[in-house]
DNA sequence: CGGGATCCTTACGGATACTG
DNA sequence: CAGTATCCGTAAGGATCCCG
């Protein structure tokens, strides 16, 4: 399980002063009062930010993939945006690009060890979204 | 270890055709090839999207909070952006705004049941970010 | 095949000043 | 106190055409 999201008997917050909620903010890097790049939350957000990012990651979770295959699986994604997205992921060290020599050129993108660490996050996103939808009034 | 991200014997993907990875994409709503608002992942992303969103949510996780308290806890967040962020959260049904009559006016923002469902997601973000940082080469 | 180079448009975050 | 009203600069997403 991704997260026995057991808030079970976690923390009650008797007062209302935010006395370091250890479950929510385990260590000092998260006790920031503004968006700082070093905060783990920001690192994770950067990874999944940008339109199409989670979809590209989802595809790569299945294994290495070429540029063209990604385009084929995500038809409404334009080449420019895909290039952008992959570039960011590579810059963040989450994906590596292998250029296979020959002609026509073939490339292969695959997740790094760091990138694979995002799998539970994708699942958590799906999970949280599902629960939110379920908890929401019939509609709007 | 935080998460033996148990792909244990989950799915091996013998070929490379993405045959519905049940762990990653449990049901049809996630088997989309483009960003659709109905997808649970998009719902979750919408909730945490926008600068400061996760920080505002973190504060509200501690319990109800007034506009001014939020500003005090997030000093570099301007009133306009806070208003924007809260407005989006309210529109998504994740937060409710209580206006206490009297003067000066007092308001109180608190999470709805749906909003509380986001707690595990915030933890997952922290977690994933931490693991990514740990898996990343010393630096670059 | 796998992009790079442009151009365009809108959305977003932020600053500042003012109001019920 | 709790916002609203403007204005602004930037950057993100997308469309189109071209190149090695």
Question: Residue A87 sits in a domain of what CATH number?
Answer: 1.10.10.10
Banded model confidence at residue A20, pLDDT cuts 50, 70, 90: confident
| Count of structural domains, chain A | 1
- Residue A125 belongs to a domain: yes
- Residue B58 belongs to a domain: yes
The minimal CB distance from B33 to the residues A47, A75, A131 is found for A75
Helices marked H in chain B: 40-48, 53-61, 67-73, 79-91, 113-116, 119-135
For A42-53, write each residue's pLDDT tens digit: 999 999 999 999
- The domain containing residue B47 runs over which residues? 37-135
- Residue A114 belongs to a domain: yes
Is A132 close to B117, i.e. CB distance below 8 A? Answer: yes
**pLDDT-above-70 percentage for chain A:** 86
Please tell me the pTM assigned to this model. 0.89
- Residue A113 belongs to a domain: yes
- Residue A93 belongs to a domain: yes
Q: Answer yes or no: are the C-beta atoms of A109 and B117 closer than 8 Å.
A: no
Q: Answer yes or no: are the C-beta atoms of B77 and B86 closer than 8 Å.
A: no
- Residue A1 belongs to a domain: no
- Residue B3 belongs to a domain: no
Residues 42-101 of A with CB under 7 A from strand D: 49-52, 77-81, 84
Over chain A, what is the mean pLDDT?
88
């Amino acid at each position: 399980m991704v997260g026995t999201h057991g808030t079970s008997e976690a923390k009650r917050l008797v007062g209302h002063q935010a006395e370091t909620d250890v479950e929510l903010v385990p260590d000092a890097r998260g006790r920031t009062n503004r968006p700082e790049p070093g905060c783990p939350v920001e690192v994770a957000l950067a990874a999944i930010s940008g339109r199409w990012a989670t979809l590209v990651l989802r595809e790569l979770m299945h294994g290495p993939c070429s540029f063209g295959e990604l385009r084929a699986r995500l038809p409404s994604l334009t080449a420019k945006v895909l290039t952008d997205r992959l570039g960011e992921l590579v810059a963040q060290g989450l994906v590596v690009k292998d250029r296979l020599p020959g002609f026509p050129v073939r490339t292969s993108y695959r997740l790094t060890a760091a990138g694979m660490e995002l799998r539970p996050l994708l699942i958590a996103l799906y999970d949280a979204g599902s629960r939110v939808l379920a908890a929401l009034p019939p509609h709007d």
